[in-house]
Amino acid sequence: MTDIATPLQVRAPSPGVTVIEISGEVTRESDAALKDAYERAGAGTRSIILAFDDLDYMNSSGIGLLVTLLVRAQRNRQRIFAYGLTEHYRQIFELTRLDEVISIHETEHAAIAAAG
Amino acid sequence: MSTQPDNRDAAAWARPVDRLTATDGHINVTGRRPTAPMNGFGRMWQKTYRTSLGDAKISPSEVIAAWKEHFPEFWPAGNRFFAPLAGIAPGEVAALDLSMPGGLKLSTGVLVLFADEESFTLMTPEGHMFAGWITFSSFVEDGETCAQAQVLMRASDPLYELGMTLGGHRQEDAHWLHTIASLAAHFGVSTQVSAQTICVDRKRQWSRAGNVWHNAGIRSGIHMTGAPIRMLRRLTQRGREA
């Protein structure tokens, strides 16, 4: 997020499913934006889909934020999905073993279908 | 799969690796998988150790360059970090010898998960006390250059989790407080180091209790007790060859 004050886009493409669009950069400065987006997704959503189409840059602090987001979601019995990852970021998810806990899909349609 | 030009963080990340390799034969490294916080047993903790280097005219990139170059020197005595020949660079594996209570030595290692001019992150392997990573970073905040170490981890197995509650957390805090104070001293700055601890997840992951199979403390102890036998074997082989 090049502007840390810019909220992330959050939308609900289907009942119980929320998409959080991750755009720009994900670094330690993205903490507030991610927390805010998660709060707006709401405790009532059962599946959260992270859209990475417009991700430009992510460092290891950013990956850490995804881990804490994951923990929050698991605490609320929510599942997390992702799509739009380039090969580079898929490899990072594999290296950090995030791919073992976040279901990765090619498209939003596929992620929504998996989210049920 | 989306196709995009190379990202500007591409060179800073390690390539995916299934199992680590220690080139110096250090035990509890080769063949071990890197572990993330999700792969551990104990409660998940985020610990942040930070100091300000004042209004010193030091840039974050200078801080990180010095931290990478002198990393082992900033550690407290008794713990050893065997820096890779290529230095702290993405994908490199470093071996560690950590002092434990009772004069025992725990041998393990770390993978350099990420490294650029303003931060670097070390990720632990199976058997390490922690499953997770620690990020060393420097940044400017309110006009001052800050240096920070942030740990995100779970204790790897029930034995380590017990050890953490019996003083391990204090020991870890002391280690990183010392390290950051040493870094500051390198730049001629005498400063207080703050520590903030957040329990990210209070739940223990009992499904990961089996991680104890890789416990580097136990394996290091077994290796140490076998040292006389290995020495005898080497002497015997030399005798035969002579």
pLDDT for res A18? 97
Q: Of B47, B44, B83, whose CA–CA distance to B67 is shortest? A: B83
Report residue B6's pLDDT band, with 50, 70 and 90 as the boundaries: low
Confirm if A82 and A102 have CB atoms less than 8 A apart.
Answer: yes
pLDDT tens-place string over residues A82-114: 999 999 999 999 999 999 999 999 999 999 999
In a domain, A80, yes or no: yes
Question: Which of A34, A32, A27, A83 lies closest to A59, judged by CA?
Answer: A27
Asked if the C-beta of B152 comes within 8 angstroms of chain A's C-beta atoms, the answer is yes
* Residues B150, A60: C-beta atoms closer than 8 Å: no
Which value, to the nearest 10 degrees, does the dihedral of the CA atoms of residues A69, A70, A71, A75 take? Answer: 100
Q: Is A72 a domain residue?
A: yes
The reply to whether residue A87 touches residue B17, judged by beta carbons under 8 angstroms, is no
Specify the 3-state DSSP secondary structure of B99: strand
B156 touches chain A (CB under 8 A): no
Q: Which residue has the tokens 């035969």?
A: B240
DSSP H helical segments within B25-59, as ranges?
none
Q: What is the C-alpha to C-alpha distance for residues A80 and B41, in angstroms, rounded to an integer?
A: 21
pLDDT reported for residue A4 = 46
Predicted pLDDT at B238: 80
Which is it for strands B34-35 and B119-125: parallel, antiparallel or unpaired?
antiparallel
Residue A31 lies in a domain: yes
In this structure, are residues B82 and B95 in contact, taking their beta carbons and an 8 Å threshold? yes
CB contact under 8 A, B38 and A84: no
> CB-based burial of residue B231 (10 Å sphere; 0-12 exposed, 13-18 middle, 19+ buried)?
exposed
| Residue position matching structure tokens 């970073």 | B137
Kindly list the domain boundaries of chain B, sorted by start residue.
Answer: 10-234
Sign (positive or negative) of CA dihedral A37, A39, A42, A45:
positive
Measuring CA to CA, which residue among A82, A88, A86 is closest to residue A105? Answer: A82
Asked if residue A60 is part of any domain, the answer here is yes
The ipTM is 0.92
List b or e across B90-116, with b for residues whose CB sees 16 or more CB atoms inside 10 angstroms. Answer: bbbbbbbbbebeeeebbbbbbbbbbbb
Identify whether the C-beta of residue B48 lies closer than 8 Å to the C-beta of residue B196. yes
Determine the residue among A58, A95, A98 to mutate to test chain B binding: the one whose Cβ has the most chain B Cβ atoms within 10 Å.
A95
Inter-chain touch A92–B36, beta carbons under 8 Å: no
Residue A75 lies in a domain: yes
Rg of chain B taking only CA atoms, in angstroms: 19
Query: Could you say which of A84, A88, A95 has the minimum Cβ distance to residue B14?
Result: A95
Residue A61 tokens, joined: 């602090």
Tokens 């090969």 sit at which residue?
A87
Mean of pLDDT values over A11-33: 94
A50: in domain: yes
Q: What percent of chain A has pLDDT over 70?
A: 95
Three-state DSSP class for residue B157: coil
pLDDT tens digits along B84-127: 988 999 999 999 998 877 777 889 999 999 999 999 999 999 99
Closest CA of chain B from A55, distance in Å:
9
Q: Which residues of A touch B (CB under 8 A)?
A: 28, 52-53, 56-61, 64, 67-68, 70-71, 74-75, 84-92, 94-98, 100-101, 106
Relative to beta strand B93-99, strand B105-115 is antiparallel
Task: List CB contacts of A41: < 8 A, sequence separation 6 or more.
Answer: A10, A18, A20, A48
Closest-CA residue to B201 (of B131, B99, B112, B106): B131
What totals of helices (H) and strands (E) does chain B contain, helices first? 5, 9
Full domain range(s) for residue A109: 9-115
Mean pLDDT score of chain B, rounded to an integer? 91
Report angle CA B162, B165, B168 to the nearest 5 degrees: 95
> How does DSSP classify residue B209?
G
pLDDT at A79 over 80: yes
Could you tell me the end-to-end alpha-carbon distance of chain A, in angstroms, rounded to an integer? 29
CATH number, domain at A98?
3.30.750.24
In chain B, the residue whose alpha carbon lies closest to the alpha carbon of A97 is B36
The closest alpha carbon to B148, from A68, A3, A61, belongs to: A61
Pick the CATH number of B10-234 from 3.40.190.10, 3.40.50.1820, 3.30.530.20, 3.40.50.300: 3.30.530.20
Number of domains chain A contains: 1
Distance in angstroms (rounded) separating the CA atoms of residues A24 and A57 = 6
Closest residue of chain B to A86, computed from CA coordinates: B2
Q: Give B49 to chain A, closest Cα distance, Å.
A: 14
Beta carbon pairs, A and B, within 8 Å: 86
Residue A3: inside a domain:
no
Which range has the worst mean pLDDT, A3-17, A50-64, B140-154? A3-17
Which pair of structure tokens corresponds to residue B100? Answer: 């434990």
